[in-house]
Structure 1
Amino acid sequence: MEILLLNGPNLNLLGRREPGIYGNRSFEDYFPELTAAFPDFTLTHFQSNHEGQLIDKLHEVGFSYHGVVLNAGGYTHTSVALADAVAAINTPVVEVHLSNLAAREDFRQKSLLGRHCAGSISGFGLESYRLALHWFQQQRPKRVGFRV
C-alpha cells in the first residue's frame, strides 16, 4: 500500500520547537522506525510550510495512493482550502496531531479538516502516525482509492 505522510507548517522544526508540547525528536529521525514497522507499505513523506503546496500534494496522490496521514499543523483550524482538498479526493485521509487538541487553546479545538477525514488521532506525540498506519493496515483495501 502506498501511504503519504503529509506534514504542514512548522513540523520541520520537530525536536527543536516547544519540546514540552511536541517532543524532542525530529520527524526525520522517527520516519525510519515507521518504514521498518510497516514493511508492506510504501511510505513517503512531504512537509511544507505553504498551504498551496500541501493542496497540490493532496491533488497529486489523492486518486492513486491508498491513504494519507495528514498533520496539517495550524492549517487544521484555519484552512477551508485544505479542507476542500481533502473532501475532493478519493484517497482516505487520517488526521493526526502530536498534542492533545482538546487540552490546548480554544482555537485549536476546532478542526476544519476532521469532517472530511476517515478519523482523527491526537495526543500521542509521534506515535499518532503509527496509530494512523495501523488503521490503514486493518483496512486492507482491495483497490486503490477506497473511500470510507
Structure 2
Amino acid sequence: MKILIINGPNLNLLGTRQPEIYGSKTFDSYFSELQFGFQEVELAKYQSNVEGELINKLQEAQEQEYDGIILNPGAYTHTSLAIADAVSSIKTAVVEVHISNVMDREQIRHTSLISKNAVGTISGFGLNGYKLAIQSFLNTREAN
C-alpha cells in the first residue's frame, strides 16, 4: 500500500508553532515514527504553503497511483474551493486530518470545504490523527 501525506500552510512549523495547540514534535520526527510503525506501508510526505502546489501534488498523487492520501490542508480547509475541487476531481481516496479539534476553535474553522469530498475526517487527536488515517486505509483494504 502506498500513502501520501500532504500538509498545507504553516505545518512546516510543527514543533515550534503554538505548541500548546500543535505539540512540540516536528513533523519530520513524527514521520519517522510513522514509517517505523507502518513498515508494510510505503509512506511519502509533502508540505507546501502554496495553494497551487498542493493542488498539483493531489493531481500527481493520482498519476503516481497512491492508494490513499492523507491531507491536512491547514487554513485552506476553510477557504480553498480550488483544493476542494481538486480532491473531488481525483479518484484516489483522501482522508482529511487536523491536529487540533477545529470545532473547539474559532467559528471560521468550523466549516470545511474539503470534508464533503473526503472519505473521512479526523480532528483533535494531535499527530496521532495521521496514524488513525493510515489505519483507516489499512482497515478498508482488509475489508475488501
Retained in 2: the 8 A contact 1:122–1:128?
yes
Distance 1:90-1:4 versus aligned 2 partners, 3 A rule? same
Taking structure 2 as the reference length, the TM-score comes to: 0.96
Give, as a single letter, the amino acid of the residue that structure 2 aligns with 1:60: E
Name the structure where helix makes up a greater proportion of residues: 2
Rounded Cα–Cα distance in structure 2 between residues aligned with 1:37 and 1:29:
13
Q: Which runs of 5+ in 1 are unaligned?
A: 144-148
SS of the equivalent of 1:45 reads strand
Equivalent residue number for residue 131 of structure 1? 132
Percent identity of paired positions between Structure 1 and Structure 2 = 52
Give, as a single letter, the amino acid of the residue that structure 1 aligns with 2:106: E
Q: Which runs of 5+ in 2 are unaligned?
A: none
Q: Tell me the matched-pair count.
A: 143
Runs of 4+ in 1 over 4 A off after TM superposition: none
> Cα offset for 1:141?
7.2
Equivalent residue number for residue 31 of structure 1? 31
Equivalent residue number for residue 118 of structure 2? 117
Equivalent residue number for residue 44 of structure 1? 44
> Cα offset for 1:142?
9.9
Give, as a single letter, the amino acid of the residue that structure 1 aligns with 2:61: V
Equivalent residue number for residue 58 of structure 2? 58
1:59-78 aligned within 5 A: 59-63=59-63, 64-78=65-79
Equivalent residue number for residue 106 of structure 2? 105
> Cα offset for 1:115?
0.1
Rounded Cα–Cα distance in structure 2 between residues aligned with 1:16 and 1:110:
26
Equivalent residue number for residue 95 of structure 1? 96
Give, as a single letter, the amino acid of the residue that structure 2 aligns with 1:113: I
- Does residue 5 (structure 1) correspond to residue 2 (structure 2)? The answer is no
> Cα offset for 1:62?
2.1
Taking structure 1 as the reference length, the TM-score comes to: 0.94
Give, as a single letter, the amino acid of the residue that structure 2 aligns with 1:82: I
